[in-house]
Structures are given as structure tokens and as C-alpha cells.
Chains A and B, each alone.
Chain A
Amino acid sequence: MKARTSILLGSLSAALVALALTSPRVVAADKVDPVADAKAFQNFFFQKFPTVKHEDFVNGPYSMNEDMKRQWQEKEEFPPYEFALDAGKEMFATPFKNGKTYAHCFPNGGIGIRQNYPYFDEKEGKVVTLELALNRCREANGEAPYSYVKDEMASLTAYMAFTSRGKPMDIKIPDDPRALAAFENGKRYFYTRRGQLNFSCASCHVQSPGERIRAEILAPALGILNAMPIYRSEWSGMGTTSRRFITCNSQTRAVPLEPQADEYRDVEYFLSYVANGLPISGPGARP
């Protein structure tokens, strides 16, 4: 026991010393600057993939591989998310038991507004995502909330995304230190390594877009949420942003957080903001 502990401590302190010696230059980044961050983020991808049209990044792996893109375009004539989309349209129009509908909870009756989500709610002091807003709408009208990961939530967000198709992502960060903190928190989450496989979101989606992970081709992080929710062949069904965050976590062997955890809301805020200007392409179909 003693030998083992001291070896562990020894390697830990050696690692910490090594860390201190090789620490990157600490940049005095006191001020959170989302505008600069978004510009740097977009430029990184535009320069890394100069032949990809800017709006094409929202098509994920299809922007990285011609053969996959061709197959996907063929399927888009009769896309696998059609059933969920039709179901979502019907659900959206169906009144709650109290007679009200989802339209009552959203600006413009919920039509063509998906590109504004997530937004920073200054009253609550937190990021509010579309999925969260939908369930809050349900609860405010006496209905039970839906699961965040699939089925009804996916159908509803599919419909709302569809009504915004083509519109540029338009996330606002108010001049509020809490909103800036949420953005920074999301950014930190995105770049932090987690799980036994020690991957961050960036490990795959910044360092290796277009490369293969087993049989899949990795999507670029730029615009990665613009196609949500998605029909994934791997899932044989629809999945929401919540579902993807959770499964990405467990795929790196990290225990996922609860759906709509602060970290997830913040990383959705960060990823959506840095994709501002790129078109909504949801609902999407992915391998």
C-alpha cells in the first residue's frame, strides 16, 4: 500500500512539475471577447478547408467528403427525418389540455425563430435553449415535460428548425457579465479533455474534421449544431442536441451530465454563437 501510494504521489508531483515547466504562455485574457473568438473560430475553418463554401460547413461530414455528400444529396429527396418532421408539425399545432398551444409561448408563434436559440435570459441569468423553452412551455401549461433526447422533443425541434431553414444563425450575447461568463464557460467546456479517452470536443471536431474515427467521418465544429435535430442512421432514429452531447460524452468514456445541465446549455450557446451567419440546415440526416 505504502509503495503504491508513494509511486502515485511521485508521478503526480512529477507530472505537476512537468506541467508547470511546459505550461503554455498565460495570455492575459481578462476580457471575454466573443466577437474576436467567433472570428478566429470561423477563420480557422475557412483557412483549413479553403475549397469548402462557408455555408457548406453546416452539412457536417458531407462538407468533408464528396462521395458521402453525393449519397446524402440523393437521400435528401426523400429524407429519413420526414416522419419526425410531419409528427412535429402536427404536435406543434395540437392544443394543450388547457386550450393553449406552443405558439403562445414563442415570438412569432414559434415559426421561423429557431436561429435565435439559445438566448441568454437576463431575468434568470442563464442560457435558455430551444429544448428547454419547449419543456417550460409545456409545464407552464400544465403538461408533463418530454424527454430531452428523442421522440417528441426531436419531432418538435425538427419542425421548428425546418421553419427556419436557410436563415442565418443569429445568437445574441448581451453586454452582461453573466452572459459573457456563460459563453466563456461553454468555450472552456468545448476545449476541456474528458473521459478515459481524454478527448475534448476539439480533439475530434477542431483537430480532425474530415478524418475518420473508425468508420465515420468527423464533422467540423463550425456549424455543427445548425443541422440539429438529426436523424442518425446509427440511432435508427432522431436525436436532439441533448442526445448528441450525452452520447459524445459517453463515447469518450466520460459519465454524461444530465440533459440541459449548465455546461451543456453553455456549450450550445458557445457553438451556436461562433456559427453566427451560417444557415440553419435542420432537421438533418447523418450516418
Chain B
Amino acid sequence: MASSIRVRATANGDITEVQALIQHPMDTGFVKDAKGELIPAHYIQQLKFECNGKDVFVADWGTAVSKDPYVKFSFKGAKKGDDLKVSWTDNKGASDTTTAKIS
């Protein structure tokens, strides 16, 4: 199964710019399905980006984040060729992780 995480990280001098697109339903728990029953809340609780043993971006999310979230941020202290590890866990106990090289 393909990873739910697409990530691209580009180093420009000392600053690394990261973009990620994560495939996740991010159900709020308020929406009803075709039968009229509530679709239970299903959302990413924590999203973490790690580089060189340090957390460079940690997000604690709830139901206010939309489906298939897109994240963009920059951080200092990494260089081309370093590994960037991305992982998430959701409220159902599921998780996914992927590692990308900073280009």
C-alpha cells in the first residue's frame, strides 16, 4: 500500500522548506452518512517531523483540520542529504511514517 504521506524537503542554505500532503479522512464526527448515521470522528492527533534526532515540527491536531491536510513549514539546522522522518498517529490508534531525504 502506498504511503499516506507525500513529503518534499528542499534545503536553501541553512533553511529547509518542507511540504507534506497527508491522505487522511479527518472526519469530525458530526457528518452523517447516506443512511443518516453519524460517521465517527477519525482524525490525526499528532503529526511529527524529525530531523537529526530532533523534533523540528510537532502538531497536535483535532477535528478542525480538513481532510487530506497539507502542511508547509521551514526550519533551520539541516542540510542537503539529511533524513527527515514524518509520522502521524490518529484517534483510532492507526499510524504511518515515512522518511525523505532533504534535497
A residues bordering B, Cβ < 8 Å?
Answer: 74-75, 77-78, 80, 82-83, 86, 233, 236-237
Contacts and interface: CB of A to CB of B under 8 A. Distances in A.
Given A78-B6, A78-B19, A83-B68, 17 more contacts: A75-B70, A77-B8, A77-B19, A78-B20, A78-B70, A78-B72, A80-B21, A80-B70, A82-B6, A82-B21, A83-B21, A83-B23, A233-B66, A236-B66, A236-B67, A236-B68, A237-B67
Describe B's contact surface by its main secondary structure.
Answer: strand
The dominant DSSP class at the A interface is mixed
Which range holds the interface residue count of chain B?
Answer: 10 to 19
B2 interface: yes
Nearest to B71: A78
Interface of B: 2, 6, 8, 19-21, 23, 66-68, 70, 72
Nearest to B17: A77
22 contacts: A74-B72, A75-B70, A77-B8, A77-B19, A78-B6, A78-B8, A78-B19, A78-B20, A78-B21, A78-B70, A78-B72, A80-B21, A80-B68, A80-B70, A82-B6, A82-B21, A83-B21, A83-B68, A86-B2, A233-B66, A236-B67, A236-B68
A69 to B, nearest CB: 17
B39 to A, nearest CB: 12
B41 to A, nearest CB: 15
Nearest to B7: A78
A82 B22 CA distance: 11
A73 to B, nearest CB: 13
The winner among A74, A78, A236 for most chain B CB atoms within 10 A is: A78
Nearest to A86: B2
Contacts of A236: 66-68
A83 B24 CA distance: 11
B44 to A, nearest CB: 15
A233 B19 CA distance: 18
A77 B19 CA distance: 9
